[in-house]
Every structure is written in C-alpha cells, then in structure tokens.
C-alpha cells in the first residue's frame, strides 16, 4: 500500500483536470481547498442559486479526472463569470494495494440536517474519523431570487455499528424571512484503523485572515517518521456573512486558501499549502463576499470564517 496526496487548481473555463498517481487508485477522498465565484460585468445581483460540485472518473487505473460543476445565478439572466472562477482541491488516495486499515469515500447530495448513505468501514473502531467538504447546493427555488445576508456549509462525521455517515449543514438566507429551499452539501469520509496508518490530521477552526498562518505538526509525527513533503488543507466548513441582519447583492464570493485578493473587486487568486519540516504554511484562510454597489459592502470578518483540516502523510526517516 502507498498513500499519496495531490493538490490541484481547476479553472472553471477548463472544466476538469486529470491527476496521475504512482499506481492504481484503490480508494480516494477529495475535499475543497478553496473556491471563487463571481457574476460577470462587475456588478452585484441577487442570488437564486449558488452551487459547486465535483464529479470523479477514473479513465485508467492510476488516473483520477475531476470535473467541476458550479453555478451562480439570479432570476434575471445573470450567471457565473466562468473565466474568473476557480476551485482548488486536495485528494488523498490509496494506490497499489487496498489495505484494511483505511476507508476513503465521497458522498453527494446530503440534505442540511441529514446524513449521507452509509459508508461501510474496514473496522468498527477507527482511530481517526473525519469528514471533509467537497461541495454545496443552495437555491431559493425556481423563479425566485433574493439578496444574501449569510451563506454557510459544513460537514461532520458520525458512526454507527461499523458504518460512517457524513452529516451536513447548509444555509443561505437574505435579510428578511427568505431561506434557501434547497440546501445540500457533498462531503467525504476519512477513517483509519490503527495508531500509525500513515496519515495525520490537524483541525484548524474559525480562521479569517488575509495573511498566511503556520501550523506546527511536530506533535503528530512519531519518532522514526517525518512529515511528507505534500499536505492537503481542505475545508470542513465555512461561513460568509455581511453581518447583522441586513442582506445585500453579491458580485463575488469564495472561501478557503487565498493567495491574494478576495476583496473590493480584486479577483482572488488560489493558494495551496506548503511544508517545511513539520511546519505547514496555509495562505490566507478566509471567506469573503462583496457586492460592488455604489457603496461596496464586504463580508463582516467577525462573522465570516473557514474551518480546515490539515491532512499529512507519515514517511519513515
């Protein structure tokens, strides 16, 4: 068995990207590292639907093709600015041999307040057991659009009798009494079943920063091992809010790892984590939203944040 992590940035104008691994892929789980969506034309609009999903295909044994489906639309013909949109992802895969000490699986269409189909575990007593966010689907409904006060999406894990369930929460509401009639998430499960299964996890919660942060992983690396040179940092949840109880139009929104921009009409550029020894650098963990009106309304940083999971690999020294 070998474990591999790959990170990718997919431009919506390209639609998909194929990742090539070092051997046949036996299991994998993918999560969102970040995303950015805008309306075309540099103006804010109401929102009818805001959604983002990943579709996976294995054209050959050692390749994983990831296709992105995204939508930002109102009820008046305004749609996603595809050339400005991007999604960053992190993928953990088992290659060559499928062991009995890890379970990786993505699930889609999980209703807010509900849970996924059951994911059979390799063992009933996991040592590590977490969920990662891989998509969301929010809509006020057919023929209806409204302003936005807050958008959020998150996943968590529950276990029952040797089966995992990804549980979801999602919300989009305006400054009045209107909430999304469709509120779903996509998520993945990551479970390991022995103390050293080659994976280390570090949750980073409630971050909102335009600057990079560093995370020390040394306490998670046992003697005789080192942290692999590639890590994934993926969303487990996010919240974007204008604050208070007032809704506004939206021009651009996004969340995750942002290397630059993401505010006041400056297009955001995606970021990916880097590793130096046992220190992981995470560029700009934040969520953002702004309308580009006559008086620009940005997100309220006290009520906007991202929750992240750092996924690393242990390698023998």
122 vs 250, more confident:
250
CA atoms within 13 A of residue 275's CA, in its CB half-sphere: 18
- CB atoms under 10 Å from CB of 118, counted, come to 15
Please, which pLDDT band fits residue 264 given cuts at 50, 70 and 90? low
Average pLDDT value for residue range 283-304: 92
Q: Over the stretch 136-192, which tens digit does the pLDDT of each residue have? A: 999 999 889 999 999 999 999 999 989 999 999 999 999 999 999 999 999 999 999
- CB atoms under 10 Å from CB of 31, counted, come to 31
Nearest in space to 312 (alpha carbons), one of 188, 206, 216, 236: 216
Q: Give the integer Cα–Cα distance in Å for 21 and 104.
A: 16
Q: How long is the chain? A: 317
pLDDT of residue 85 exceeding 70, the answer is: yes
CA 2 to chain centre: 24
Looking at the chain, the whole-number percentage of residues with pLDDT higher than 90 is 87
- CB atoms under 10 Å from CB of 229, counted, come to 12
Q: Over the stretch 196-234, which tens digit does the pLDDT of each residue have? A: 789 999 999 999 999 999 999 999 999 999 999 999 999
Contacts of 189 (CB under 8 A, 6+ apart): 29, 103, 104, 105, 106, 107, 119, 129, 130, 131, 157, 164, 166
Q: Over the stretch 97-152, which tens digit does the pLDDT of each residue have? A: 878 889 999 999 999 999 999 999 988 899 999 999 999 999 999 889 999 999 99
Q: Give the integer Cα–Cα distance in Å for 244 and 169.
A: 21
CA 274 to chain centre: 17
Place of tokens 């993401």: 262
45 vs 292, more confident:
45
Average pLDDT value for residue range 34-58: 95
Please, which pLDDT band fits residue 194 given cuts at 50, 70 and 90? confident
User: Would you state the pLDDT for residue 265?
Assistant: 64
Question: 184-209 as b/e, with b when 16 or more CB fall inside 10 Å?
Answer: bbbbbbbbbbeeebbbbbbebeebbe
| CA Rg value for the chain | 19
Q: Over the stretch 295-307, which tens digit does the pLDDT of each residue have? A: 789 999 999 999 9
pLDDT of residue 195 exceeding 70, the answer is: yes
Q: Give the integer Cα–Cα distance in Å for 263 and 237.
A: 20
User: Would you state the pLDDT for residue 63?
Assistant: 98
For residues 92 and 7, the answer to whether their CB atoms sit within 8 Å is: no
The per-residue pLDDT of the chain, averaged, comes to: 95
What pTM does this model have?
Answer: 0.96
Average pLDDT value for residue range 9-18: 94
Sign of CA dihedral 269, 49, 19, 276: positive
For residues 140 and 146, the answer to whether their CB atoms sit within 8 Å is: yes
pLDDT of residue 235 exceeding 80, the answer is: yes
């Amino acid at each position: 068995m070998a474990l591999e992590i790959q990170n990718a940035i997919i431009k919506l104008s390209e639609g998909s990207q194929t990742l090539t691994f070092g051997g046949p892929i036996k299991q994998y789980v993918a999560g969102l590292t970040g995303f950015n969506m805008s309306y075309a034309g540099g103006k804010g609009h109401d929102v009818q639907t805001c959604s983002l999903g990943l579709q996976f295909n294995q054209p050959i044994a050692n390749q994983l093709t990831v296709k992105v489906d995204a939508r930002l639309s109102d009820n008046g013909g305004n749609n996603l600015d595809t050339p400005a949109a991007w999604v960053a992802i992190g993928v953990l895969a088992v290659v060559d041999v499928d062991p009995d000490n890890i379970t990786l699986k993505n699930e889609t269409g999980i209703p807010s307040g509900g849970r996924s189909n059951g994911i059979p575990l390799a063992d009933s007593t996991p040592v590590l057991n977490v969920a990662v966010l891989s998509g969301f689907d929010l809509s006020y409904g057919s023929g209806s659009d409204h302003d936005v006060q807050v958008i959020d999406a998150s996943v968590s894990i529950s276990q029952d009798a040797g089966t995992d369930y990804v549980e979801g929460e999602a919300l989009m509401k305006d400054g009045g009494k209107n909430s999304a009639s469709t509120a779903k998430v996509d998520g993945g499960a990551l479970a390991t079943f022995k103390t050293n299964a080659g994976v280390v996890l570090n949750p980073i919660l409630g971050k909102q920063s335009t600057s990079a942060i560093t995370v020390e992983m040394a306490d998670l690396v046992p003697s005789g091992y080192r942290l692999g040179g590639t890590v994934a940092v993926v969303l487990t949840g996010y919240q974007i809010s204008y604050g208070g109880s007032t809704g506004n139009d939206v021009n651009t929104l996004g969340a995750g790892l942002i290397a630059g921009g993401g505010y006041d009409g400056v297009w955001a550029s995606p970021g990916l984590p880097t590793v130096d020894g046992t220190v992981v650098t995470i560029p700009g963990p934040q969520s953002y939203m702004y309308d580009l009106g006559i008086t620009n309304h940005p997100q309220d940083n006290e009520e906007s944040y991202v929750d992240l999971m750092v996924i690393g690999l242990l390698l023998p020294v």
